[in-house]
Structure 1
Amino acid sequence: MSENESRPVVVGVDGSPAARAALRWAVEDARRRGCPVDVISAWHRDYGVMIGQVPAEIMVEMSPPALEAAARKSLDAVTQGFEGVEIRRILVEGDARDVLTAASKDAELLVVGSRGHGTVVGAILGSVSAHCVHHASCPVVVVREPKVEREQEHAPAAAAAPLTPGPLL
Structure 2
Amino acid sequence: MHGNGRHEGGTAPRVVVGVSGSLGSLAALHRGVAEARERGAALVPVLAWEPPGGEHGYRRSPCPPLLAAVREAAEQRLRDALDAAFGGTDPGVPLHPVVIRGEAGPALLHVADRPDDLLVLGRSGGPLRRRLRRSVPGHCARKAGCPVLTVPVPELLHALHRLESAHRRARRHPSAGPAREALAAKR
TM-score, normalised to structure 1, is 0.74
* Secondary structure in 2 matching 1:37: strand
CA contact (8 A) 1:116 1:144 kept: no
Contact persistence 1:13–1:41 (CA under 8 A): yes
Instruction: Give, in whole Å, the separation in 2 of the partners of 1:127 and 1:152.
Output: 21
Structure 1 unaligned regions, length at least 5: 49-59, 161-169
User: What is the CA-CA distance between 1:20 and the residue it aligns to?
Assistant: 0.5
When residues 130 and 36 of structure 1 are mapped into structure 2, their CA distance, relative to the original with a 3 A threshold, is: same
Q: Structure 1 residues 116, 133: closer, same or farther in 2, change over 3 A?
A: farther
Query: Which deviations, in whole Å up to 9, do the C-alpha atoms of 1:8-57 show, x marking residues without a partner?
Result: 00001001110110111001110111110110000002417xxxxxxxxx
> In the TM superposition, what are the counterparts of 1:11-30 in structure 2 within 5 Å?
11-30=17-36
> Which residue, out of 70, 73, 81, partners 2:73?
70
Return 146-155 or 17-26, whichever deviates more.
146-155
State the one-letter code of the partner of 2:81. V
Q: Aligned with 1:75: secondary structure?
A: helix
- SS of residue paired to 1:6: coil
Is 2:13–2:39's contact at 8 Å kept on the other side of the alignment?
A: no
TM-score scaled by structure 2?
0.68
Q: Which runs of 4+ in 1 moved over 4 A?
A: none
Give the number of the structure whose alpha-carbon radius of gyration is greater: 2
- 1:150 and 1:64 map into 2 onto residues whose CA distance is 35
Partner secondary structure for residue 93 of structure 2: coil
| Aligned mates of 2:130, 2:26 — CA distance in 1 | 20
Instruction: Tell me the number of residue pairs that the alignment of Structure 1 and Structure 2 aligns.
Output: 146
Matched, 1:37 2:32: no
SS at match of 2:30: helix
**Aligned residues: percent identity?**
29
Shift of 1:117: 4.2
Question: Distance in 1 between the 2:20 and 2:124 partners?
Answer: 11
Q: CA deviation at 1:84?
A: 1.2
Match of 1:146 among 140, 147, 154: 154
Q: Deviations over 1:86-134 (max 9, x none)?
A: 111100011111111122212520011112644x754541111100000
Equivalence for 2:14: 8
Bigger helix share = 2
> Which runs of 5 or more structure 2 residues have no equivalent in the other structure?
1-7, 55-62, 168-177, 179-187
Report SS of the residue matched to 1:112. Answer: strand
| RMSD between aligned residues | 2.8
Q: CA deviation at 1:153?
A: 5.4
**Superposition deviation, residue 70 in structure 1:** 1.3
Do the aligned residues in 2 keep the contact of 1:27 with 1:37 (CA within 8 Å)? Answer: yes
